[in-house]
Chains A and B, each alone.
Chain A
Amino acid sequence: MAAPVLEVTNLTVAIAGGGDRANAIENVSLTVMPGEIVCVVGESGSGKSVTSQAVMALLPKGQLRISGGSIKLEGDELTTKSQPAMRAVRGKRAAMVFQEPMTALNPVERCGDQIAEVLEIHTDLDAKARRARVLDVMRSVHLPDPEQMAEAYPHQLSGGQRQRVMIAMALVLDPALLIADEPTTALDVTTQAQILKLIREMQVRRNTGVLFITHDFGVVSEIADRVVVMQRGRIVEQGTKAEILAAPREAYTQMLIAAVPSLVPPVRVPITSQVTLETIKLNKTYGGRSFFKPSGRVVKAATDVSFQIRRGETLGIVGESGSGKSTVARCIARLVDPTSGRIDLDDVDIARMSERKLRPYRRRVQIVFQDPYRSLNPRRSVGQSIIEGPMNFGLPHGEAIERARNLMGLVGLSPDALDRFPHQFSGGQRQRIAIARALAMEPVLLIGDEPVSALDVSVQAQVLQLLDSVRKKFDLAVLFITHDLRVAAQICDRIAVMQRGVVVETGPTANVFANPQHDYTRALFSAAPGQGFGHRIGAGKIDLVPAV
């Protein structure tokens, strides 16, 4: 057996000044062999990124420091190295790819120069030789037209291209170890598939050891050789991919895996109740010229969008970023004014209504937003946030409070928590509160705009179940916006697939998944990582646990 590329033993990183806990990671031990991809998987705050930063000696100064353990790169101890000595390691023997390729690349420097910089630092090559090497490595990561790309600035490239530049930069000196910190999280699913393939390809070709940080079990099942599961700074379990995914030993791992929704939709009975919402040729364009802004470019965010949602039905809109799915949701909630088309809510067109006339209809459409940390006013108690709407429509304070208490119970929180402020709740709890706030208005249509995207996978499942149960209980029409096909598969009765502002395909969820018609839909589905992996929501393993 070859020597490991990376050997981390009993690594502990202390948090300066304490905080919730004394150490960011404790007693972490793992190894990466040459040509092996080790996935470190965990929810937010599990310490997986800290581990990778510690290896590169890039821990934020003054906040985190290594307090124990050892890190050996090809047998060479790193924890005792000085910063200048570490500089010789970084970029040459160990390289890193970050999550967000837009911010990880210097925005004011040409891509080629940024790759060449690595060569400048670590080699004696002259400018010409550097240039040749840069074009070479760019070609090897399948960047089209490397000569032109080398001259481009990061913002002129797409997200996937930028990540390829990052990978080229990391691999240009053939490091023994590549650390990839959530390298595909910020990418669309189709791009993600390509990048994963690229990493796999490069790693095989160069026999690089890869430490791959991710929170997505789909990605794990796609790429990992071995898996390390972390929770709250400790390693819970590690083993081969097959061991961990198929037969997890630890309860935490089991829970995590069970919470991943399946890509196979359950069978659903078609719903034929009355139509609550119908959009007809809805259009929204942004920009355009005006006196003060003569340079406006016109962006068509939504074009001729038409669909129906019936009572008790969940319609999912899926699509990648920029597809216009959120724009449609915001038009229907009248947070933006549609450019043309109809929005019929129970047969009344609200598309062009003035704010004054619209007011009585406002309560009938409610929306739950993506970011739980921003969807509640941090300065107002949860109770105040929930009763604000009903009181706007004349409900007396006492009754509004009563209603809020009932709803808190319904969403699985203690009614006594009404006096607390948002910061005292976790992300999942806040989304429950946001749902309660929406329900307090007694809406007929509930819009979820990526309501679970920001949540850890375990919490996500609970919130999805809650949404599904309130739909049933109140016979709500639900418009569910998501980029996550797994979620869409599990919760939607019907789905509409959007691409560049246009609905390219609509139909019952099972049909669309089983037999996609449009090319784009097919591409989208085939790109989803870990096809065979995942579970059905509500398959019985997780219950709604009142969390307060």
Chain B
Amino acid sequence: MIAFIIRRLLATIPVMLVVAIFVFLMLRLTPSDPAAIIAGDNATAEQVADIRNKLGLNEPIVTQFFIWGSKILRGDLGESFFFKKTVAELISDRIEPTLSLSLFTILLAVMVAVPLGVLAAKRHGSIVDRMVMGFSVMGFSVPVFVIGYSLIYVFASELRWFPTTGYRRIHDGAGPWAYYLVLPTLTLSVVYIALIARMTRTSMLEVLSEDYVRTARAKGQIERKVLFRHALRNAAVPIVTVIGLGIALLIGGVVVTESVYSIPGLGRLTVEAVLARDFPVIQAVILMFSFVYVLINLLVDLVYSLLDPRIRY
């Protein structure tokens, strides 16, 4: 197992290398010039050139890449072009809200979606199934921000049950922290409930036609246990896959949700960094998200082996 983890971690190297090269080239080959932006409104051409020099943007691209790469390898993410802070500081400031929101969302989504999916599969073709599937397609189809605004309109603005915007850090108290996350979590989880419920249903339907489910019935097992003891565990691998995928996809929704609710998380940091052409921040954030994606994949693989004894590493 340990050997597997080490091997998998090693296997992330080429993936991360591709990510690094791609992101680096993408930033360097675009027409935008951070130096001009940094130099400000009334800067002269010499000032811009000077800043370019200081940022190392005049070096050949390959040199720039290696300088950056070797710093990354030493754990140095560099310093933001704009904020007078290191990238590591910026990220660590922003990580808590994003993590909280993502965690809440995944928890809620799994807790709601898996039972829904099982129910739909059990009542395949019934009105319940149709409703779950209908909700699921709707969940995919309504943009996150429309859901967000609707929720704010109803629950924050009209009913005044929840705050409209903002975020409270957990060390200011778990109560406010959770309270402020209710609406964003609901907003973001709709699409994941849709995704996971749908996958649960599909996977369950497939498993329910398997021979061992027939065997279980042939033993005289009651239907509930057939569903949960035999079917769900076997159906779990694709469900876990989609949850893992969901976590990876979450960041897209997080960007929008954080904008709608003014949550100072990584999603907004990225958008701001992109708008400001803050190369070190963009590179670091994208690299970090990619690494998280790879790690989640690894984690998902490990969970597979817990769920399915046939999978051994």
When the two chains form their complex, are residues B219 and A100 in contact, meaning their CB atoms are under 8 A apart? no
Cβ–Cβ < 8 Å partners of B210 in chain A: 103
- Which chain A residue lies CB-closest to B218? A96
Choose among A62, A105, A117 the residue with the greatest number of B CB atoms under 10 Å from its CB.
A117
Q: Given contacts A58-B214, A98-B215, A103-B210, are A108 and B233 in contact (CB under 8 A)?
A: yes
Question: Which of A58, A87, A107, A121 touches B234 (beta carbons < 8 Å)?
Answer: A107
Question: B307 interface residue, CB < 8 Å from A?
Answer: yes
- Which chain A residue lies CB-closest to B236? A108
A121 to B125, CA, bound (A): 29
Question: B217 interface residue, CB < 8 Å from A?
Answer: yes
Question: B74 interface residue, CB < 8 Å from A?
Answer: no
Question: B211 interface residue, CB < 8 Å from A?
Answer: yes
Minimal beta-carbon separation of A511 from chain B (angstroms): 42
When the two chains form their complex, are residues B212 and A90 in contact, meaning their CB atoms are under 8 A apart? no
Question: A155 interface residue, CB < 8 Å from B?
Answer: yes
> A145-179 vs B: 1/0 string, CB under 8 Å?
00000000101000000000010010000000000
Question: Which of B7, B10, B217, B313 touches A90 (beta carbons < 8 Å)?
Answer: B217
Cβ–Cβ < 8 Å partners of A108 in chain B: 233-234, 307-310
A479 to B221, CA, bound (A): 49
Question: A274 interface residue, CB < 8 Å from B?
Answer: no
The number of inter-chain residue pairs (CB within 8 angstroms) is: 80
Q: Given contacts A108-B309, A294-B7, are A122 and B212 in contact (CB under 8 A)?
A: no
When the two chains form their complex, are residues B308 and A106 in contact, meaning their CB atoms are under 8 A apart? no
When the two chains form their complex, are residues A121 and B221 in contact, meaning their CB atoms are under 8 A apart? yes
When the two chains form their complex, are residues B219 and A117 in contact, meaning their CB atoms are under 8 A apart? yes
When the two chains form their complex, are residues A88 and B211 in contact, meaning their CB atoms are under 8 A apart? no
Cβ–Cβ < 8 Å partners of A153 in chain B: 309-310
> B300-313 vs A: 1/0 string, CB under 8 Å?
00000001111001
- Interface hits, A70-105 → B, CB 8 Å: 84, 86-92, 95-96, 98, 100, 103-105
When the two chains form their complex, are residues A155 and B211 in contact, meaning their CB atoms are under 8 A apart? no
Cβ–Cβ < 8 Å partners of A155 in chain B: 309-310
A121 to B223, CA, bound (A): 12
When the two chains form their complex, are residues B220 and A92 in contact, meaning their CB atoms are under 8 A apart? yes
Question: B26 interface residue, CB < 8 Å from A?
Answer: no
Question: B23 interface residue, CB < 8 Å from A?
Answer: no
Question: A38 interface residue, CB < 8 Å from B?
Answer: no
Minimal beta-carbon separation of B208 from chain A (angstroms): 10
Minimal beta-carbon separation of B226 from chain A (angstroms): 10
Q: Given contacts A153-B309, A153-B310, A155-B310, are A106 and B218 in contact (CB under 8 A)?
A: no
Question: B73 interface residue, CB < 8 Å from A?
Answer: no
- Which chain B residue lies CB-closest to A294? B7
Question: Which of B4, B217, B219 touches A169 (beta carbons < 8 Å)?
Answer: B219
A105 to B309, CA, bound (A): 13
When the two chains form their complex, are residues A98 and B308 in contact, meaning their CB atoms are under 8 A apart? no
Question: Which of B7, B11, B215, B313 touches A106 (beta carbons < 8 Å)?
Answer: B215
Question: B28 interface residue, CB < 8 Å from A?
Answer: no
Q: Given contacts A107-B308, A294-B7, are A122 and B220 in contact (CB under 8 A)?
A: yes
Question: A295 interface residue, CB < 8 Å from B?
Answer: yes
- Which chain A residue lies CB-closest to B237? A108
A321 to B92, CA, bound (A): 58
Q: Given contacts A155-B310, A294-B7, are A104 and B212 in contact (CB under 8 A)?
A: yes
A95 to B221, CA, bound (A): 12
A122 to B210, CA, bound (A): 23
When the two chains form their complex, are residues B211 and A100 in contact, meaning their CB atoms are under 8 A apart? yes
Question: A54 interface residue, CB < 8 Å from B?
Answer: no
> B186-228 vs A: 1/0 string, CB under 8 Å?
0000000000000000000000001110111111111000000
- Which chain B residue lies CB-closest to A121? B220
- Which chain B residue lies CB-closest to A62? B125
When the two chains form their complex, are residues A104 and B214 in contact, meaning their CB atoms are under 8 A apart? yes
Question: Which of B212, B220, B307 touches A87 (beta carbons < 8 Å)?
Answer: B220
When the two chains form their complex, are residues B7 and A87 in contact, meaning their CB atoms are under 8 A apart? no
Cβ–Cβ < 8 Å partners of B309 in chain A: 107-108, 153, 155
Question: A457 interface residue, CB < 8 Å from B?
Answer: no
> B4-47 vs A: 1/0 string, CB under 8 Å?
10010011000000000000000000000000000000000000
Choose among B214, B222, B229 the residue with the greatest number of A CB atoms under 10 Å from its CB.
B214
When the two chains form their complex, are residues A91 and B234 in contact, meaning their CB atoms are under 8 A apart? no
When the two chains form their complex, are residues A103 and B212 in contact, meaning their CB atoms are under 8 A apart? yes
Question: A257 interface residue, CB < 8 Å from B?
Answer: no
- Which chain B residue lies CB-closest to A107? B310
Choose among A58, A104, A153 the residue with the greatest number of B CB atoms under 10 Å from its CB.
A104
Minimal beta-carbon separation of A207 from chain B (angstroms): 21
- Interface hits, B273-313 → A, CB 8 Å: 307-310, 313
Cβ–Cβ < 8 Å partners of B220 in chain A: 86-92, 118, 121-122
Question: B230 interface residue, CB < 8 Å from A?
Answer: yes
Cβ–Cβ < 8 Å partners of A96 in chain B: 215, 218
Minimal beta-carbon separation of A170 from chain B (angstroms): 8
- Which chain B residue lies CB-closest to A113? B229
Cβ–Cβ < 8 Å partners of A100 in chain B: 211
A109 to B221, CA, bound (A): 15
Cβ–Cβ < 8 Å partners of B216 in chain A: 106, 117
Cβ–Cβ < 8 Å partners of A295 in chain B: 4, 7, 313
Minimal beta-carbon separation of A38 from chain B (angstroms): 19
When the two chains form their complex, are residues B222 and A87 in contact, meaning their CB atoms are under 8 A apart? yes
- Which chain A residue lies CB-closest to B215? A104
A89 to B211, CA, bound (A): 19
> A186-205 vs B: 1/0 string, CB under 8 Å?
00000000000000000000
Question: A56 interface residue, CB < 8 Å from B?
Answer: yes
Question: Which of B7, B11, B215, B221 touches A105 (beta carbons < 8 Å)?
Answer: B215
A88 to B218, CA, bound (A): 10
Cβ–Cβ < 8 Å partners of A56 in chain B: 218
Cβ–Cβ < 8 Å partners of A109 in chain B: 229-230, 233
Cβ–Cβ < 8 Å partners of A58 in chain B: 214, 217-218
A121 to B211, CA, bound (A): 19
Minimal beta-carbon separation of B7 from chain A (angstroms): 6
11 contacts between A and B (CB under 8 A): A95-B219, A96-B215, A103-B211, A107-B309, A107-B310, A108-B234, A108-B307, A108-B310, A118-B219, A169-B219, A295-B4
